[in-house]
Amino acid sequence: MNPLADLDLSRLSEMSRPEKEELLELLEERVRRESRNKITTLYPDLGPLRRELYKKHLAFFAAGKEHRELAFIAANRSGKSLCVCYELTCHLTGRYPQWWPGRTFSRSVIAWASGEDTKAVRESLQPMLFGPAGALGTGLIPGDLIAGTTARSGVPEAIDAAAIKYVDGGLSRLVLKSYDQGRESFQASQVDIMVFDEEPPMDIYSEGLTRTMSTVPGETGGMVMCAFTPLKGTSDVVLHFLGDTLGMAA
């Protein structure tokens, strides 16, 4: 029985001091647990933020079933980064909601998530995934599933990589990168998932795509997910996605 599931506050005025102290401890524990399991509050079945209202988000998730390259190209503040990071978290943990319409991985994964520069990654992408500085585990990745992190050298409060507990007991690996590290830093490794938060230069996008060309027998390759507002106009990356379609995937 979960003592946090249904706390009865109706008897507050009748409670003794020890009972009130116990209740306070239970309330604090519920807040702590909920803050470290944020992802379960997103895309609910019912309510003012119910899942059915986010049609573009659901279409993005579903597109992964058929396409290896995905881009959420939309205006600022439209939830595109949240959408992509939500899917990334599902793949890292292997914990997919029962309504999930998209691609799934049946094993722990290696993922890279990147942004324009180290400051942008630390101030935007990192808090969304891990929570703000000093509150590790309050982002989309549940706190209890973060097995460990390593700091980025020379950048205060920046995470370089993290180990994430997968549902089968294994560990997924997430590396945070930035475009200002150059194309060479996106070479060499084999990666299951590549995330670009904000539009990357075409040479870096191409390197990222190459990294996801799986050599694992029976697998069709990894996936690339982008989330950006097309502030650079009809760039090579925008044309790569919008040349044949008006939304997602090549």
Q: Which residues belong to the active site? A: 198
Cα-Cα-Cα-Cα dihedral sign, residues 152, 110, 98, 246: positive
Q: Where are the beta strands (DSSP E) in 10-75?
A: 69-73
Number of helices and strands in the chain (H, E): 7, 7
Tally Cβ neighbours within 10 Å of residue 228.
24
Backbone angles phi, psi at 125, to 5 degrees: -65, -45
Tokens of 180: 């200002």
**β-sheet bridge partners, residue 114:** 177, 196
Identify any residues that bridge with 175 across adjacent strands, giving them in sequence order: 112, 161
Beta strands at 110-115 and 146-151: parallel, antiparallel or unpaired: unpaired
Tell me how far apart the alpha carbons of residues 30 and 10 are, in angstroms, rounded to a whole number.
18
How far, in Å, are 59, 155, 175, 177, 248 from residue 120 at the CA level? Answer: 27, 12, 15, 10, 24
